[in-house]
Structure 1
């Protein structure tokens, strides 16, 4: 099972990478997403799937419920983006594009996460259900952190660090609360980051096709 999941994830990344090579200018300034941009999410998901079903995937300690902060902290990077916008700190892309990539990134992330949950049916550490792999909370948090990074990396690295710190804390709390294994949160993090990078790569294609469609005269 783990080998099949790794293959599907790598195929997912490769397919979008090949499609993105025809995308032209990506937002905001990069021409093409280099393959190295996917090394980190691929490594996270690869390690996570390698740990799936392995004894080391058990939580670091049996602590029960530690805190409900993870239910709210996963939205922290999104909240920080809103706060920066409200404070007048402009992102690297226009508001309309920012909203579009946010929606598309979460659609991609949600589809992959839900598909794996239904397919793998891994039992949570607390035994509550069989929707453990991958971690949806972590995927949401890292999607938000990567979106924050893409929008404000031109301003300060500390903005990106803050977003990823909140995302990492979300994943750690999911394990501490016995809701997820390490395999779940690592894979969720990889899915979240990859979903944003894929969206940034293919969004220009979607945008150009929509523009062409609008310019076509009515028959």
Structure 2
């Protein structure tokens, strides 16, 4: 089972053409997207998949429900992006492109997460259902954190740190609340980050094709 999940994750991370975005008002580019940028999400995803079958929640044991903050904290990076926009802090890309990559990233993240949940059928630590692997809350939180990082890394590293701090807190709370094992949240974090990076990689290709289609004269 572990080998199958590792293969799915590896195929998902490497099957798409990789192009990089440049800083500016939009995301058109022809430069290659560095594969080294996928080291962190690949390590998180692969590490989590490797822990399947070895459920652990150390140092948490039967802590029960600690807090409901994780249900709201997962959306923290998205809220911070909105707050920065309202404060007049401009992101690295225009609003149209930012909305597009946000939607596409979340569609990719949600699709991969749901497929794995239905395929693995891992039991949650509290025994409530068999949808433990991977953590959806964590995937949402880290998708938001990576989107925040891509949009505002040119402004201040503290913005990125704030986003990833909220995402990490979400992951820890999911384990503390007996909803997930560490394997679940590690993989969820990797999926979230990789979904954004893949979207930024392929979005210029999609955008160019749409622009060419619009320029074609009607027959």
Q: Per the alignment, in what secondary structure is the counterpart of residue 82 of structure 2?
A: helix
Instruction: Flag structure 2 segments of 5+ consecutive residues without an equivalent.
Output: none
TM norm structure 2? 0.94
* 1:206 correspondence with 2:186: no
Give the corresponding residue for 2:136. 136
Q: Per the alignment, in what secondary structure is the counterpart of residue 116 of structure 1?
A: helix
Give the corresponding residue for 1:158. 158
* CA distance in structure 1 between the aligned counterparts of 2:113 and 2:86, rounded to whole angstroms: 31
Partners of 2:57 and 2:175 within 8 A in 1: no
* CA distance in structure 2 between the aligned counterparts of 1:57 and 1:2, rounded to whole angstroms: 19
Partners of 2:65 and 2:178 within 8 A in 1: yes
* 1:28 correspondence with 2:27: no
What is the correspondence of 1:37-186 to structure 2 with a 5 Å cutoff?
Answer: 37-56=37-56, 60-186=60-186
How much has 1:58 moved relative to structure 2?
6.5
How much has 1:55 moved relative to structure 2?
4.3
Instruction: Flag structure 1 segments of 5+ consecutive residues without an equivalent.
Output: none
* CA distance in structure 1 between the aligned counterparts of 2:118 and 2:58, rounded to whole angstroms: 21
* CA distance in structure 1 between the aligned counterparts of 2:59 and 2:131, rounded to whole angstroms: 16
Q: Per the alignment, in what secondary structure is the counterpart of residue 56 of structure 1?
A: coil
Partners of 2:41 and 2:193 within 8 A in 1: yes
TM norm structure 1? 0.94
Task: Identify if the C-alpha distance between structure 1 residues 132 and 215 changes in structure 2 by more than 3 Å, giving closer, same or farther.
Answer: same
- Paired residues in the alignment total 214
Task: Identify if the C-alpha distance between structure 1 residues 140 and 95 changes in structure 2 by more than 3 Å, giving closer, same or farther.
Answer: same
Question: Which has the larger helix fraction?
Answer: 1
Q: Per the alignment, in what secondary structure is the counterpart of residue 61 of structure 2?
A: coil
* 1:216 correspondence with 2:216: yes
Give the corresponding residue for 1:196. 196
Task: Identify if the C-alpha distance between structure 1 residues 55 and 189 changes in structure 2 by more than 3 Å, giving closer, same or farther.
Answer: closer
Q: Per the alignment, in what secondary structure is the counterpart of residue 125 of structure 1?
A: coil
How much has 1:12 moved relative to structure 2?
1.1
